[in-house]
Structure 1
């Protein structure tokens, strides 16, 4: 799919070409969609057109959590571990 945006020239950062602006917009959109839970890490990388390491670096730069573990999941894992340990 292709989407066209109309951005007034005077709002563009100086010295930035259209290709780098498009890449930056794709990355920021991917970051926001990942942060919202709409895209997985892999899908966000594909959306932005970058590798996982670059994506994780961008997440770190913008302080976006890359691992989200629910407290209930952690408690379930601890309970399961205790049960396995007691059974041994």
Structure 2
């Protein structure tokens, strides 16, 4: 019986972690989307693609947030070219 309780607790903890992670990603996507809205000359398609890349790769997001507006645009074009050949 103790083993069943431990397995259930472990499973519930895994579910809670996944729900928390999904919530975190959702919030991060909204935040990144707002950042991308102020960058001129990006098409909506570019914004969507860049948002997906930045949310999935936290080190890129860290770099992105530290750049000036012009450098943000240039960095986005760099990662879009790197990932999608744009």
TM-score (normalizing by structure 2) = 0.31
* The structure with more radius of gyration: 1
The structure whose RCO (Cα within 8 Å, separation 6+) is larger is 2
Greater share of helix residues, 1 or 2?
2
